[in-house]
């Protein structure tokens, strides 16, 4: 996009974490912003704080697993701001399943597929037709993850599989937008290079009744502290990327029309190379990691 000023952005998963950071960065660039989230109260608090700080931001409670809810988000955006130029399909969850994957509940899968994958599909179906009709510049940014998007962590099959799907969906979207000669761009975002200290590790907070756990947990959910202990035990350096840094990467990527919003890091590039090398050389996966980082 040539400019963001005066344009309208929609960010799902905008109550906190990376979604909020993108919304604030967009508002700082002179955009009108719609933050959407399934957690209505944190969303209302975030929107109130942003508006207090003078940002042109509204909030629309939205469940991205529900297509009618995403259509209502689109309609609310159009009625508030009259157009939509940037859509960040960013809402995401870590399923927090326990045990081995053959013990995981089917609802762990359905929930992750509903939010991480169908949330992106719903965003595309609801917004792209109106964006094409506008016949103006625009961009769709879909949030993937190095976990799945680059190579999977076997401990998180639902997350890794759905984040891999986000990459493929976005590549197909890019290809089709090119084929129809549209003015819209598409990008896949890999937040990082390190993990972000956000609500993602407490995703159980946003688990809706539709995808409720089928049986009580036997073990406590992993916390950020628990994850840090696992990383330490595996000898992995614990480092965090500030969400503001990722939001900056997104703005730069939008202005430069970059498909891969993928921060450069030797570690990330090596993970990608190791997996690609295994596929090319038909060797069994020796690149699989036990913990992030
Ligand atoms: N935290 C990391 O290290 C990391 C790394 C790579 C990718 N990501 C991805 O970045 C994105 C943002 O995550 P984050 O780290 O800011 O975590 P976060 O938990 O702080 O933000 C995610 C938001 O999505 C919302 N959400 C969950 N289910 C929803 C639904 N059904 N409908 C609407 N909103 C819903 C949550 O309420 C939450 O506010 C996610 O897609 C995540 O997978 C995060």
Ligand 1-lining residues (CB < 6 angstroms): 12-13, 15-19, 37-39, 62-65, 90-93, 115, 143, 145, 191, 195-196, 198-200, 203, 206
Distance from the Cα of residue 85 to its chain's centroid: 18
β-sheet bridge partners, residue 240: 195
User: In what order do the strands lie in the sheet containing 86-89?
Assistant: 57-61, 32-37, 8-12, 86-89, 138-143, 184-189, 260-261
pLDDT at 292: 86
Q: For the segment 214-246, what is each residue's pLDDT rounded down to a tens digit?
A: 999 999 888 888 889 989 999 988 999 999 999
Residue 293, pLDDT > 80, answer no
Which pLDDT band, with edges at 50, 70 and 90, does 30 fall under? very high
Test site for ligand 1: of 13, 42, 119, most ligand atoms within 8 A of the Cβ? 13
Which pLDDT band, with edges at 50, 70 and 90, does 250 fall under? very high
Report the candidate in 17, 272, 34, 64 with the shortest Cα–Cα distance to residue 151.
272
Which pLDDT band, with edges at 50, 70 and 90, does 191 fall under? very high
122/242 Cα distance (integer angstroms): 28
Which pLDDT band, with edges at 50, 70 and 90, does 291 fall under? confident
Residue 69, pLDDT > 80, answer yes
pTM of the full structure: 0.98
Residues with active-site annotation: 159
Q: For the segment 156-185, what is each residue's pLDDT rounded down to a tens digit?
A: 999 999 999 999 999 999 999 999 999 999
pLDDT at 47: 98
Q: Concatenated DSSP letters for 214-262?
A: SS--SSPPP-HHHHHHHHHHTT----B--HHHHHHHHHHHHHHT-SEE-
Residue 125, pLDDT > 90, answer yes
- Tell me, which fold does domain 8-264 have in CATH? Rossmann fold (3.40.50)
């Amino acid at each position: 996009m040539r400019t963001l000023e005066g344009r309208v952005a929609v960010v799902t998963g905008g109550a906190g974490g990376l979604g909020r950071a993108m919304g604030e960065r967009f508002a700082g660039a002179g955009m009108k912003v719609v933050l959407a989230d399934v957690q209505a109260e944190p969303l209302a608090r975030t929107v109130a704080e942003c508006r207090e700080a003078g940002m042109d931001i509204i909030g629309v409670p939205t469940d991205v697993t529900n297509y009618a809810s995403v259509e209502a988000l689109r309609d609310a955006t159009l009625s508030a701001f009259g157009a939509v130029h940037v859509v960040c399909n960013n809402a995401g969850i870590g399923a927090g399943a326990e045990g081995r994957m053959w013990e995981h509940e089917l609802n762990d899968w359905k929930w992750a597929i509903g939010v991480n994958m169908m949330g992106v599909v719903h965003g595309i179906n609801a917004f792209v037709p109106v964006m094409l009709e506008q016949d103006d510049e625009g961009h769709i940014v879909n949030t993937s993850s190095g976990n799945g998007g680059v190579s999977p962590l076997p401990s998180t099959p639902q997350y890794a599989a759905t984040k891999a799907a986000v990459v493929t969906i976005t590549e197909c979207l890019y290809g089709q937008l090119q084929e129809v000669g549209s003015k819209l761009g598409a990008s896949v975002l890999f937040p990082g290079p390190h993990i972000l200290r956000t609500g993602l590790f407490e995703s159980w907070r946003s688990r809706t009744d539709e995808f409720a756990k089928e049986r009580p947990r036997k073990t406590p959910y992993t916390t950020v502290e628990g994850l840090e202990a696992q990383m330490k035990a595996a000898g992995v350096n614990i480092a965090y990327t500030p969400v503001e840094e990722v939001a900056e990467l997104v703005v730069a990527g939008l202005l430069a029309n970059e498909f891969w919003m993928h921060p450069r890091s030797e570690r990330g590039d090596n993970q990608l190379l190791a997996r690609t090398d295994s596929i090319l050389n038909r060797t069994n996966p020796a690149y699989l990691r036990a913990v992030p980082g």
